Amino acid sequence: MLEALTGTGLATAAGLNAYIPLLVMGVLARWTDLLTLPAGWDFLENGWVLAVLAVLLALEVVADKIPGVDSVNDIVQTVVRPVAGGIAFGAGSSSQTAVVTDPEAFVQSGQWVPVVVGIVLALVVHGAKATARPVVNVATLGAGAPVASTVEDATSVGLSFAAILAPLLVLVALVGLVVVWLRFRRRRRRDGVPGEAPVDVP
């Protein structure tokens, strides 16, 4: 149960920012005793991998805060974030990677399930983020992009640490994210999208 919550929190965090949960896992595994990565995923604590992740994170942090560029970045991240989510869930839930010498046995073993779950979770969160950002940009004339991005980054950091250090907090965070998303959808329906008449919502 706790391992599933850890994987869920990390994959959700990857849907907001692909590199934060991977970097958090790698740093904690390399320099602390708070996390031990399972065999097959320990490449995340390699120094070169951490350096690359840090550079990619810096680029992501800047690009995601510039109106217009953030939407282009979201298109690119449509592949990156789900992949990161799969890696994060797989490593966080202590699943093992394996050399696939017998595809049928690999499928039957279920070792691919955590990775697929992580991909789906990250893709759903990424989709919500990518859908909301253009609306925020239009509604605020671009001023909301850096604010929204900073909140997303902070949420990703918080989720990553909560998933590893206090997995039960992931449930609270997920409920909060769902509530925020539903309120955003409700407000969007009430106010209408640019160029359309507002829709009355009881």
* 170 pLDDT more than 90: no
Residue 198 lies in a domain: no
pLDDT of residue 47: 95
Distance CA 9, CA 173 (A): 9
Residue 197 lies in a domain: no
* Average per-residue pLDDT for the chain: 85
Residue 201 lies in a domain: no
Between 28-32, 103-107, 169-173, the lowest mean confidence (pLDDT) is in 103-107
pLDDT of residue 184: 77
pLDDT tens digits along 88-136: 998 887 654 444 445 555 555 566 788 899 999 999 999 999 999 998 8
Confidence of residue 41 (pLDDT cuts 50, 70, 90): confident
Domain extent for 67:
2-191
* 189 pLDDT more than 50: yes
Number of domains in the chain: 1
Q: 20 versus 114: which is more confidently predicted?
A: 20
The one-letter amino acid code at 55 reads V
Residue 84 lies in a domain: yes
Residue 22 lies in a domain: yes
Residue 83 lies in a domain: yes
Residue 175 lies in a domain: yes
Residue 196 lies in a domain: no
